[in-house]
């Protein structure tokens, strides 16, 4: 599985595709497919049939589709810019994601 540069809860910017320029929060990731679902990005429509047993109403449902992670850049919380992610090792052996532009951390310590 590839190592992802983003995690659930990160704020990201779409840099390619039909939703280029949009900013949203990562709802979930799929490392095996190298994809992430971003809030408010890449909507698709599904026509659903009503199912009274499962309490599902019929109609057209819109939801977010997965986006490939190569089309996303993490937004740094300190400099508020889309940045590439650097990985730093701490003394206790933990890995920490940091901003390549300002050097700030992207993870909670």
pTM metric for this prediction: 0.84
Domains in the chain: boundaries: 1-75, 79-109
**What CATH topology corresponds to 1-75?**
SH3 type barrels. (2.30.30)
What is the mean predicted confidence (pLDDT) over 45-72?
Answer: 94
pLDDT in tens, 20-39: 999 999 999 999 999 999 99
Range 82-104 average pLDDT:
91
Mean pLDDT of 64-93: 93
Residue 93, pLDDT above cutoff 90: no
Residue 2: per-residue pLDDT: 73
CA-based end-to-end distance of the chain: 25
């Amino acid at each position: 599985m590839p190592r992802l540069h983003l995690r659930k809860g990160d704020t990201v910017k779409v840099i390619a595709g039909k939703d280029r320029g949009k900013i949203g929060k990562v709802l979930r990731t799929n490392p095996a497919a190298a994809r992430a679902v971003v809030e408010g990005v890449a909507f698709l429509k599904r026509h659903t049939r009503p199912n009274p047993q499962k309490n599902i109403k019929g109609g057209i449902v819109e939801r977010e589709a997965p986006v490939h992670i190569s089309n996303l850049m993490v937004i740094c919380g300190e400099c508020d810019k889309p940045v590439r992610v650097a990985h730093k090792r701490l003394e206790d052996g933990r890995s920490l994601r940091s901003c390549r532009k300002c050097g700030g951390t992207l993870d909670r310590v």
